[in-house]
Structure 1
Amino acid sequence: MNATYHKRAVRALYAVTVFPWSGVAAADLQSSSRAAITSTSFKLRCPTSFIAPLSVWRSSPLLPRGTLDSRTRRMSSTAMNNSQEPQLTTSQVKNRVALLQFHVTYDKLQNIATARESILKARDSGARLCVLPECWNSPYATAAFPDYAEKLPDVGDEDGAFASFDNGEYGPSSRMLAEMAKSTSMYIVGGSIPEISAGKIYNTCLIVNPSGVIVGKHRKVHLFDVDVPGGIRFCESETLSAGEGATCFDVDEEDTEKGLGRVGVGICFPEYAILLTQVHQCKVLIFPGAFNLTTGPAHWELLQRARAVDGQCFVLTASPARAAPPEEEQKYPHYSAWGHSTAVSPWGEVMASCDENPNIVVVDLDMKKVAEMRMAIPTSNQKRHDLYKLTTGGGGA
């Protein structure tokens, strides 16, 4: 490696690779860290001047052997107990995350099978945390939500003993998420699925840790009610009820400098991001979303970059892939998702993205960049609390 190439590689901030669903072998995904990322099996989403061996791109080596004692909380009306987690597997990279974008069909069991396959591909990529899309087990249609809704578990105990998973009290979607998180030793931010609870339907995201324990449960706070003339009309409140709390969880609490730290979770609308970053001190914000062909090209990337700069944090989004309208009339109206699952840096730069087709976006997060950004542009220290302040009520959102 010549000096110029080495210097460029050392200066590079992030390793960014998009793994298309087709034609990616497990052997390619599990290749040595010394293998160059210029393999034809990979689709790169970074400037050619930043191409370097993956070992150079990684912000830190694998964790030393040992048990992670990472506490996780749900920052809302319910707190969870501490939990002991399994150690990082040898194939995982500490701050590697995978954003899963796949087609959602009218067949729930097929959707669950597709999600399972995507999670396995995320594991093979070396990801430690993966994110599913919004409404991944159900068509995105207000009439479909009650038909596809499931009873979901709440934040679990530290032993991860969910006997009710075995006797069928909860639906197949949450059972799959818990089983896959434990079998792959990954954190899974479970996109969202329709939840039935006390006669109400919610758009709910489950967060599962590597022990298979539910460590967060976020019900969508801002329902998607829009009527754009000449564009789209969609009213989630026709069948859904709004959630009442902000949700976040901790990863690598013992490694405050390089670890992922506190991760905030929302669904679709990023409007309460300021609460997650200023009150709950999140370094990473995750928003499963299903923007459409009207709001997607106008606002999808714009909002993510704005929230990343506002909060001086990483912003990650996962969308369903865009499907062609069915040839035959279906029970529910067709919804065209925008796709373009994306990762944005604290500087507001798009680190990685994809198109509308099924993809897995894999990115390594250099968490030191959060501290560097907040020190270089100290907006949090420049707030005029004598003139204004952030107030919260209810569950914190």
Structure 2
Amino acid sequence: MFQRVYPSQGIGYEVTCAAAGTVCRNPPTALKLNGQRITSQYCQFHACRQVEGGRACPNAKLPRAVVCSQHIRCQAVDNGTRCNLDVKDGNSALYRYCMPLHLCTLPGCEAQRTWHNGQDLAFCHEHRCEYDDCRNHKDTGPFCKDHTCDDTHCIAFAQGVDPEDPQRFCERHRHCQKPQCRRLCHVRDNGQPSPFCGAHYCEAPDCEAEREGGSHCRDHACAEQGCLEGQESPGSGYCKKHTCKTRNCRLRRLGKDYCPYHECVYGGCEAEAMEGGFLFKGQHTSYVKTATTIDEAVVDEQNEAHDSVNTIFARSVTVKTQRLLRSNSALVTSVLCQNVTDPGKLQSTDLPRAMLTDSFATDTAVDKLAATTRLRRDQAGA
């Protein structure tokens, strides 16, 4: 770069300031950096105070400025474009970033603020709360006060909610969500905390509801009145003690082990019915089939038709009624058992029509039951 030189008495030519656009006869100055002297081509009034790569800035500054126009601008680059704003207070010796957009807002910090997901978080990485898009500065730990556990001396994360909410504490110090309960939350075997303490949490896996009376919540407790046990499997409705022992059956037990659909209806027998859904156990099926009347062939044919109708009807009414009217399951079962074992005592009005219409049984099925009942009564009278 061209430098003006002027004659000096007894010395010859002397190098002067190289500032363009003016006639400056001041000698070049030297900048000091870490105890080293770095010579600039400009005088003390025009030399930019920035040093890059061990060399003084090649650009001149205005006499009253600290740095040149290039270094007084914010050093931040957004999407490949450099910011056009000036650094804070125009003092590039202390600051590299502009105050409105890029300088950390914590007083005294000179670092660049953080942006996350296109959002200005106001603080630099060192000073901002580490929770997601939180715009607060750190407290004593890695999170702000709103996201720090309220327990004394604990700096673990806690969800930012109302001050009185149980989740104001970390997982280790979280309090039970039961009103007025100050116990710590129960931690499951898999390490996950429950929203409730050991006295109020539901024991069903991954359930976050409150227990009621027993060890499970309403959705996971046995539907049997007075039973405090949990359901044998989710959605089964009953505990192991009250669920039919037949594989994959979720209906309520009627007698000792089985539901009306799977228990032999022969008087006094509590064994499982035959495979295929017949209402009698194997040995009692043989006994029924060997019973004879005056016209064995005719009676057997009538019995077979009667059993087929009642079997289908018993299954449909019993299963559907258990789902809709669990409290009346014993009544439904007793009426159905009378229909098969002692048809002479059954009246079509013994099973309330309201209960039948509440199930998926149709009026045709009801009429079939009444017809077969009259047929048996007529046979007995004959």
TM-score range, shorter chain: under 0.3
* Structure having the higher Rg: 2
Between Structure 1 and Structure 2, which shows a larger proportion of strand residues?
1
TM-score by length of 1: 0.19
